[in-house]
Each structure stands twice: as C-alpha cells, then as structure tokens.
Structure 1
C-alpha cells in the first residue's frame, strides 16, 4: 500500500467529506479517516441545507461517501487517529490500530463536542426538542411554546433570535440573575427558578420542572451549549486556539483560507466554528480543500499564494486576558512562595507575570521586581492591582523572543511559561539563566501534565530533567531541586484537580 498522500483529512462529517470531494475532483491523493462519531447523528434531520433539508445526518454522510467512491484518488477509512505530528516536509498520522500514513497536508475536520448544562432529561431530548441552533431546528417547533436555557447576554441574544419562530418564549436562567429591558419589551418572560428536569412523553418535551413551584408546559428548548474540541490532535500539532467565548471554549484559529497557524495544517467545520451548522461546515470544507490544492501547487510549480499566516502573539494574549475581568486567582504561585519565602530580598525578575500575582507578592516581602508580559491588558491589570507596591515593581512589556529585560537578578522566576502559540522556550529560558547573578536562583515551574480542566489534556510536557538539559548550563550551577511535585488545586470554574508540577530550582555558584 502507498501510504503517501497529498492530504489526510481527519473527520468524515460534513466538512471532511466536502473537502474530500473538492480534492478528489482536483485529482489529489486524499485519505479520509473517520471514527463515525459526528455530533449531529442524534438529530432528526438537517435543517437549512439546500437539496437535503430535513435529511437525517447519517443518510447525508452515507451519500457523501458514495459520491467519493467515483474518484480514484480518494480513499475512505474507518479509523481513530491518535497522533499527528510534523515529519520531514509533511506530517505523520498514526491510527489506533498502529498503522501510519504520511501526508503533505493535514486537514482537521474532527468536529466539536457540544456540552449543554447537566439537567435531568435534557440529554435524551438533544437533537429533537432540545437544540442549540434555531436556524437548524426552529422550523420544526414553530409557533410552539418554547424555552431558552441560558443566562447573561447570551440568554438575551438567543431569546430575541427565537422570536422569528414563535411569540411564546420563556428564558430559564436556572438560578442565575437576569434583568433586561429588551426581553420585557419583546414580551419574553424570565423564570429564575432552578430547573430540576426536562420532562418528556413519547420522546418529546412536554414540561419543564423546577426544584420548587409549578412546572412550565413547553414543547421545545433552545440550549446554550458550549463547544469543546473533541480531538486532541489540534493541540498536539500546536495550532493556536481562540480565547474562550460563550459559543466555543477552544475553537481553532484559521484565516480566510482555513489555514491554521501551523504551516501545512488546515481546519474546517465546527473545529474553527463561526456558525455551527452543516451548511457552514460544507462551505468551509470546500474552501479549505481549494486552499490545500493551491498550497500544493505553490510547492510543485510555484503558484503564487499568500504567505502562511503567522500568529499575532500580543493580540492572542490580550484577547486571552480580555475574556474576563480576572483570569487567575491573584494569589502567588505555590512553588515560588515555597522557594522565595526564606530568601533575603534582593532584585527579582518575573517572566510572563500575567496579572501580577507573583510580582506583587515578592514586592510585599521587600523585593525590587521587574515583571514582564507580552499582554498590555495583563500588565495594566497588574499595575492597577499593585496599589502602593507599584513603586517596588517595574512592569515591562516584552515579547521574550524579541526583547528581554536588562540587568542581573538575584531571583529569576518563570512560572508556567507555556504558550498555546509557538514559543522558543529553550531560547527564552537560556536568556533567563544568563540573567541570574552569581549566588542567585533560577526558578522554573512547569506543568508535569495538563490540568484536568485544560484543553490540552493529551499534550505531553517535557520532564524537569529535559528542561534543565535544554539550558546547556556549565559547571557553575547547583541543582537545588529538579523533579515533579504533586498538589491539589482548584480550576478557573471551581473544579477540583490533582496536579503535577515540574519544579526546577538552580543556583548560580
């Protein structure tokens, strides 16, 4: 078997099959790998797809595979992909059965996992009486009494959108407070009670039940479901994810040609969601495939194409910190406090200071601190939080791959200096080591493994020893502590978790 492909498409849903059709018609050797777990398979039908309106999703995918069979350059294989990584001028893709294939390009069309609120009865109604998109399912429940399960601004937006299909709408905040004049003006009721069950008869919603009070008769519910990556491949390949928003927790960033920030890797469909519906997925798959063909021709015959998009580091981190009023807890990192607490205060450098928790803690203990970050949003927030300690902290804006603070320091700290976008950590950490004054400490704390609430749960982080080895230190260093340490922690939304930190404490002798 020839395992060399022009493009491997991971995912055989609407986006993946659409892309394969375009690639097949362009006579490009294409392999579609699919595990058969499309999120919309539970839906009664596809709404709003020209030529297939109301058709069950499984029938659409079967018809799509049949169409691909007439193109000899396209192969379809039922398989689960467990790894994809750069390999020479292309990519190596490995399946769960141990087989491997090589491709010049990879197109991620793995779809997303919809995570609606955990309320009794909702899961069995999903794709029918309970739905996430009024354009896909609103027609089937038109003029019926409907509910919207959401809170905040998203509840207002979703409820007002639903007015195109019915005038009988009740917003269910499930215990959250919500006041909005737009809803009242539109004749939309808000029910703040905690929902206990979506009760169904014959597979259809009949009423919403609450922890207290009378039930609410309803025939359908529009649900604010958050989309999450279903596959870890995007994280393994190192693509950039967009900051979390109310619709998607970790959508892949793509440009107008469906190109990710990793050269040679494309993404289409819900993974890079703009509008999570089948018609949009078909369109994005077609566009991605056309871009794949052109990128291959650029390599083969010099076809002029736009330069591959480079990630905007500052924009990414400004958006990351701008997504909420407070991203981190404001407390000092535990490992840094353990190391620095007994030290005599001197001059400290905090690399990737974020919202300033470590820098402020060090300053409160008498240290003179230079704190750097690439995000102006984070630095402004940190400076505001510092208060009277600001006179002891010099917050500096640096992209550490481009510029670095001047001077020598008694303590240089790099706490969880990981990045979702490409970062030459070894180069940055070598510069950090060079900034340590004689007798001073370099303190590096990394994730030993991804936190359980992270989007990168399947990413393998380097060991503490591997990080130290990458620094190429001379004999003038003492290894005070190098290894993993366990701790219990709480995630950004209150989730408990068991974490492993890789701790490296090195003294310059």
Structure 2
C-alpha cells in the first residue's frame, strides 16, 4: 500500500479547499489538514465572490468540504500540523495527535492572522462595521459616515480608496496626521486626536470616542491591520519571506505558479498576500494545485515545466535593508565587544557586516578590517557611516557561498550569520575557520532561540556544540568559550526582550 500522499494541503479555508478540488479532479492523493478558526469567520458574509456574494464564510467552507467528499482520493482531517521538514525527495508532516504523514508536495494555505490596533470596542466590531478591505465590506456601509484608522501614506491610500463607497470620510491618525494635499482635495477630513474607544449599538459602530471625551458619529471604520503568519510551518520549511510591509509582516515569497523558494513547497491564499480577499484566495489555490499536478507529472513522465525559482540572496537582502533608513542600531554586537576589548589590534574579517556597526567599532580600536556583505545597500550605508575610519575598513561585496575574501586574519567574526535564504552555513563557517591566522580567534555568535519580536519564533537554531562540531576542526584549535549566554535586549521597534546567544570563541594555535 502506498502511504505517501501526492500533496498535503495545510489549511482548509478558501485557498486550501479550492486547491483540494483541483487536485481531487486531477485524481491525486490529497490530504487536507485543517484546525479551523479561519480569520474571516467573524465576517457577516463574503463580499465579491461570484455565486456566493454575502454568504457567511462558515457556510462556504462547509459546502466546499461537502463537494470534496465526492472525490475518493481527497481526505479531510480536522487536526493541526505541528511541524514539517524535508524527508528524502519529499516531506514529512507531524500532527498534533502524535501521528505523521509523508508527502511528495506541500501546499501551505494556512492563512494569516489580522492584527488591528488594540483599541477598546474594535474587536467586537471586527468583520462587520470594522473591516480591513473595502472591496469585501464597502458595499454594506455605502453612503454612510465612515472613518479610516491608519496613519502615514497608508492612511492616504486607504482614505482615497474609500471614496468609491462614500463621500463622508474622516481619517483617524492618532496624533500622526498625514500631510497630503490629496486628502484635502478629495474632501477627506483628518482628526489627529487620540482614539480611546469605538462604541457600538446593536453590534454596529455608533461613534468614535476620543481621549478628550468628545465623540464622532460614524457607522463604519476601515482599519489598517497588519497580517502575520498564523502557522510556523513556513519557517520550519525554510521558505523565504518578503520584507515586512505596512500590509504584512512576513508574507511568503511565491512566483507566478505559487511556488515558494523551497522546491516542492507551494503557498496560496493570504499567506503570500497577493490580495487578502476570498476571491483571490480561491484563484491562487486553484493555480497552485494546477502547478502541483504539473510538477508531479514532471517527476513521473518528464512533463516540461519551468525550473524551480532559485532564491536571489542579493535581492532579498537589498530589499531587507532598503525597507527602512536603518535596520540595526549601529552599535557593536555585545558578545564581540566582550571578546575583543582586551585584544591587541590586528587584522580582522567581519562576515555579514550589514550596516557596519562591528567593523566601524573594530576600526575605532585600531583594527584593520575587511568587512563583507551580500547587500550593496548595506555596504553603501556602512561606508557612509564609517567617516574618517573608512581608510581602515575595506568593505567588500561577497555572496559567501560563491566568493570569499583572500588572506589570513587575527580575528574572524561571524555575528548572527543566519539567513532566510537557503545558505550552506557549515561550508561558509569552515572557510571562516580556514581564514584564521595561527594565534588568531574565530568568534561565532548565533541565536540560541529566535528573539521574541522575530517572525521565526518557532525555528530551532543549532546549538553551540553542533556548530563547533560541523567545523571539523583538528587539534590545532582550542575552545576558549562554547555555550549559551543570556542577556536583555531591545528589538528594532523598541520592544524589550530576553535573549539567548550561543557564543563560540575558538583559538587557532598553529
């Protein structure tokens, strides 16, 4: 008996059920895993889905499961998928009930979690007179007095979009009023007072209350909600996430065929945020399933298909650094400073230097530094920040899997050299060890676990002993420090957090 599925779909919402229907009709052994709780279940109805306009989401999902029951090769199971990983040419998916399933392909349709601002009274209105998509809910509040809860450029965009449904719009900016002539020209008011509460009557928004005690009558509010992955499976599988945007913190990168950057893993629906809408999710699920079928036929009978998209590390990191003026603090990494502060200056190599905080600090202490990164954006920013110390720093562009700096160094530093893009990290670190001069130090600092503000909180990072073991070092090396160290830190947006660093300091004796 064949115990391997052709495809496991994780998620039984609009995208997952749509994909399962296509796979079922293509006679592919398909398992749909769903633990319920789709994000749009709170909505009164689905807006803009042909043939189902206004239908409650729960009814649509029940009807979809009933349709799938007609296809004997599709199995639906109400259970959570807790982990997934590569297993030979396929994958193994672990389940909350203790079981596991093997599959040739995985389709992630787990949906996203909508995180609107935490304002009293907003949660109970969510999916009704408080909504995130005017195409889904604008018709139901047409010609009524509406508000937009957002700030900056997103407030301008959302407010102008809402003009298709009403002429009575007020932007609620909570003290950060957007300066834009387009709003005034469109007759859209801006109220920058602090919102304290949304008050409802009969389950419908009645008024917006401000901190000064005054109220603004409104019948609906379009809310800037940031989408976050509802499941950690994508991170487990190592797919690439797009840089954070005002709409989504961690959307999965897919190509035109809904393929992620991990061969064999597809994604559909809100997880890749083409457009967070049921109709779009249905379409992407159908497309993803068709691509799954073709990829299976490519394996089985040689059907010609486009090559799997290879992730572009340089593009990814350029986008990462380009999303804001500064990503990191500009300060030296704490563990590096602790190791180096008592050392005599020499020649240093900084791998994955980012915006140059470590390299600039080393140069300020008399070190001659070669600093590398794959991102031109980061290197240009680092060179600009170096000022007069630039004469002591050689910033070099390297994809470390492809090229590596020449020479030997008294100090080789790899600080948090983790990557969302697949990276042969063991090979890179072996080259780092080979670049250490006799008497020099190799300093590797890793995450012991993901920071609390990270999108990869469920990723398991290798331990310090595992990393050192992967270097295959001979007896010319001495372990100075190998193990976890705890500290308190502040995240990129000011969030406090308790961190665990794996610190590895190794000295080459000859």
Give the TM-score normalised by the residue count of structure 1: 0.99
Q: Aligned residue for 2:180? A: 180
The aligned length equals: 509
Q: Does 1:288 align with 2:302?
A: no
Match of 1:109 in 2: 109
Aligned residues of 1:243 and 1:323 also touching (Cα < 8 A)? yes
CA distance in 1, matches of 2:339, 2:409: 15
Runs of 5+ unmatched residues, structure 1: none
Secondary structure of 1:228's aligned partner? strand
1:370 alignment partner in structure 2: 370
Which residue number corresponds to residue 29 of structure 2? Answer: 29
Separation (CA, whole Å) in 2 of partners of 1:189 and 1:394? 52
Distance in 2 separating the partners of 1:168 and 1:390: 56
Residues 60-99 of structure 1: CA deviation (Å, up to 9, x unaligned): 0000000001011101000000011111121101100011
Give the secondary-structure state (helix, strand or coil) at the position aligned to 1:135: helix
Which position in structure 1 is the counterpart of 2:480?
A: 480
Is the Cα–Cα contact under 8 Å of residues 239 and 420 in structure 1 kept in the other structure?
yes
Shift of 1:213: 4.7
Matches within 5 A, 1:374-413: 374-413=374-413
CA contact (8 A) 2:177 2:190 kept: no
Distance in 2 (CA, whole Å) between partners of 1:4 and 1:312 is: 32
CA contact (8 A) 1:412 1:435 kept: yes
- Cα distance in 2 between the residues matched to 1:265 and 1:308: 10
1:1-400 to structure 2, matched below 5 A, reads 3-400=3-400
* 8 Å CA contact 1:371, 1:395 repeated in 2: yes
- How far residue 2 of structure 1 moved from its aligned partner, in angstroms, is 5.6
Query: 1:128: Cα distance to partner?
Result: 0.5
Query: Secondary structure at 2:259's aligned position in 1?
Result: coil
Rounded to whole Å, the distance in 2 between the matches of 1:401 and 1:296 is 30
Q: Is the 8 A contact 1:172 1:190 kept in 2?
A: yes
Residue 210 of structure 1: how far off its partner (Å): 1.0
| TM-score normalised over the length of structure 2 | 0.99
Provide the rounded CA distance (Å) in 2 between the counterparts of 1:386 and 1:169.
48
Report the Cα distance in structure 2 between the residues aligned to 1:216 and 1:110, rounded to whole angstroms.
38
Question: How do 1:465-504 and structure 2 match up within 5 A?
Answer: 465-504=465-504
Deviations, residues 297-338 of structure 1 (Å, cap 9, x unaligned) = 001111000000000110000000000011011111000000
Could you tell me how far 1:414 is from its partner in structure 2? 0.2
Partner-residue secondary structure (3-state), 2:21: helix
Q: 172-181 or 473-482, which moves further after superposition?
A: 172-181
| Structure 2 Cα separation of the partners of residues 3 and 154 of structure 1 | 49
Q: Distance in 1 between matches of 2:166 and 2:360?
A: 53
Deviation at 1:4, TM superposition (A): 1.6
SS of alignment partner, residue 153 of structure 2: helix
SS of 2:47 mapped into structure 1: coil
| CA contact 2:177–2:191 (8 Å) conserved in 1 | no
Mapped contact 2:348–2:369 kept (Cα < 8 A): yes
Cα pair 1:448 1:461 within 8 Å, conserved: yes
Would the aligned equivalents of 1:3 and 1:100 in 2 still touch at CA under 8 Å? no
Distance between the aligned counterparts of 1:9 and 1:2, measured in 2?
18
**Shift, 1:276, TM fit:** 0.2
How far the C-alpha of 1:177 sits from its partner, in A, is: 3.5
Q: Would you identify which runs of 4 or more consecutive aligned residues in structure 1 move more than 4 Å? A: none
Q: CA deviation at 1:212?
A: 1.1
- C-alpha separation between the residues in 2 aligned to 1:286 and 1:306? 18
Unaligned runs of 5+ in 2: none
Deviation at 1:52, TM superposition (A): 0.1
Instruction: Name the CA distance, whole Å, in 1 between partners of 2:405 and 2:28.
Output: 50
- The whole-number CA distance in structure 1 between the counterparts of 2:439 and 2:54 is 72
1:421 counterpart SS class: coil
CA distance in 1, matches of 2:2, 2:60: 29
Partner in structure 2 of residue 415 of structure 1 = 415
Task: Report the CA distance between 1:175 and its aligned residue.
Answer: 1.9
* Residues 413-492 of structure 1: pairs in structure 2 closer than 5 A: 413-492=413-492
RMSD across aligned positions (CA): 0.7
In the TM superposition, what is the alpha-carbon distance from 1:421 to its structure 2 partner?
Answer: 1.1
SS of structure 1 residue aligned to 2:158:
helix
**1:496 Cα offset (Å):** 0.7
Q: Deviations over 1:175-199 (max 9, x none)?
A: 2242111101100001111111111
Distance 2:244 2:333 in 1: 23
Alpha-carbon separation, structure 2, partners of 1:168 and 1:151 = 18
